Amino acid sequence: MYSKENTRIETNYKVFTGLTNTGKCFVCGDTFKSRSILAKYCSQRCKNDIQIKKRLEIVLKKRIAATTCVICKTSIEQNSHTKIRKYCSNKCKQKNYRLKL
């Protein structure tokens, strides 16, 4: 099971023995032990959660920025559940492909 308790560093005592530094997790605020003073997260789960959040913010910014067609400059309505559209139609997509050749 992929839970926070299973992915914590200090629970794996066989591999990590000498955990001398303590820190506070940026995501959940729990205190944890690590070897490095630069550690930011208490578990792999917290690290993955913050990466997913950052990636979603980047995609949202790209989705907001892509409002016009690359070729004909007409407006494009973006759907939140599909890929980011750069072209208004297949005709413009094909035209751009032929320009690259």
Closest CA to 60 of 76, 87, 27, 84: 84
Q: What is the mean pLDDT of the chain?
A: 83
- In-domain check, residue 43: yes
pTM attached to this predicted model: 0.63
Domain count, the chain: 1
* Confidence band, pLDDT 50/70/90 cuts, at residue 70: confident
- In-domain check, residue 58: yes
- In-domain check, residue 48: yes
Q: Give the residue numbers spanning the domain of 52.
A: 21-100
- In-domain check, residue 7: no
3-state secondary structure 13-47: CCCCCCCCEEEECCCCCCEEEECCCCCCCCEHHHH
- In-domain check, residue 8: no
pLDDT of residue 39: 87
